[in-house]
Structure 1
Amino acid sequence: MKWKTLESEYISEHIYFTARRDRCQREDGAIIDPYFVVEMPTSATALALTADNKVLLVNQYRHPIKKVVLEFPGGFVDPGEDFATAMHRELLEETGYRFDKVEWVGRVAANPGVLTNYTELFLATGGVKTQEQQLDHNEEIEVLEMPMEEFLEKVRKQELVQALHVSCLFFALLKSGKLAFTG
């Protein structure tokens, strides 16, 4: 069930948002035109736990939904950068915390019907604040340390709305053994 790309035309080219219009042909011969695709780099995010077992979160304004959103730290992986190295870097830049261990727990595609990228998911443990934030020019991030019980209450109230971060929480809990399926 693979499609053949007959033509591609780039509509927008930017390091974080490249859009193209494809003309595709399915195996049964049907032509799909247009099919829009957004190319984005790989990203990474982590359920980050401090040395005293608090959840490290960030609050930041997300312009597309016009809200300040509670999230896990994370960001884009630089070209040629190892995923774990990128996660360590993003944690340090966004929060000022270094982590003893950053363990890969999974990978998800946010919207594979439109977006080309994956997000690598991590569980970071043993975090200690070692420096001030080093934010990008377009970032305005408030760092929060939250007891696990308070964080889980926010999850229950659906205050963690970033789907990639909810996925990260799920996979981190599975990896840690704190979530198991029976049946």
Structure 2
Amino acid sequence: MRSLTWKTLESTYLHKGPWATLRTDKCEMPDGRIVPNYYVLEYPDWVNAVALTEDYKVLLITQYRHAAEIVSLEIPGGVIDGDEAPEDAMRRELLEETGFAFDKVELLSVVYPNPSTATNKTYCYLATGGKKVQEQSLDELEEVVVSEHTVEEVKQFLAENKIAQSLHCTSLFYALMRLDNMEL
């Protein structure tokens, strides 16, 4: 099979910010054609988790998402800080957003949110054995409501399209497959 990989000839940064960086690449396709302006968003990597408490309840969070202008039902997650290990970031995010600590955090998959335009990855986890150990420790602009649900309720939320965040749906898909193969 012939190579499908493009060669980056040059990159120009249009915006550099803490949450998103925009650059344009000049690329050469395998057949020699030149792509003069391919826009690329550089984001930090993310983590999220399907989090189960000791009594097998799934922790969901509800928060406002301004870009989409929706109140969103989600699983816990967030940005990996600097050179933080993904599992450490996940444990930190779980504790900050929910106040729960977990016995086990298992990596289920690594996915690309949008590989056509963005550079980042999302690490999807299953966290089990959760115990409430503290109150939430939210960032200045976060307002997060935590709720507990049965696995069957979460499946119904998915069936009714009540979870709009696609990366969270992906994690739920992997977690539900894993849970089907586990004895709880």
Question: TM-score scaled to structure 2, two decimals?
Answer: 0.93
1:61 aligns with 2:64: yes
What is the match of residue 131 of structure 1?
134
What is the match of residue 30 of structure 2?
27
Residue 9 of structure 1 aligns to a residue in which SS?
strand
What is the match of residue 44 of structure 1?
47
1:150 aligns with 2:153: yes
1:175, distance to aligned residue in structure 2 (A): 2.6
Equivalent residues, number: 179
Residue 161 of structure 1 aligns to a residue in which SS?
coil
What is the match of residue 115 of structure 2?
112
1:94 aligns with 2:106: no
1:178, distance to aligned residue in structure 2 (A): 4.5
Residue 106 of structure 1 aligns to a residue in which SS?
strand
1:91, distance to aligned residue in structure 2 (A): 0.1
Residues 147 and 174 of structure 1: CA distance in aligned 2, closer, same or farther (over 3 Å)? closer
Residue 65 of structure 1 aligns to a residue in which SS?
coil
Residue 128 of structure 1 aligns to a residue in which SS?
strand
Separation in structure 1 between the aligned mates of residue 118 and residue 132 of structure 2, nearest angstrom = 34
Gaps in structure 2 of 5+ consecutive residues: none
1:14, distance to aligned residue in structure 2 (A): 1.1
Residue 166 of structure 1 aligns to a residue in which SS?
helix
Question: TM-score scaled to structure 1, two decimals?
Answer: 0.93
- State the one-letter code of the partner of 2:35: I
Residue 164 of structure 2 aligns to a residue in which SS?
coil
Larger mean Cα displacement after TM superposition, 40-49 or 7-16: 7-16
What is the match of residue 9 of structure 1?
12
1:81 aligns with 2:84: yes
> What are the superposed Cα offsets for residues 140-181 of structure 1, whole Å, 9 maximum, x if unpaired?
1111111222222111101111111111111112233349xx
Separation in structure 1 between the aligned mates of residue 14 and residue 142 of structure 2, nearest angstrom = 26
Give the root-mean-square deviation of aligned CA atoms: 1.3
Which structure 1 residue ranges, 4+ long, deviate > 4 Å from structure 2?
none
Separation in structure 2 between the aligned mates of residue 164 and residue 152 of structure 1, nearest angstrom = 16
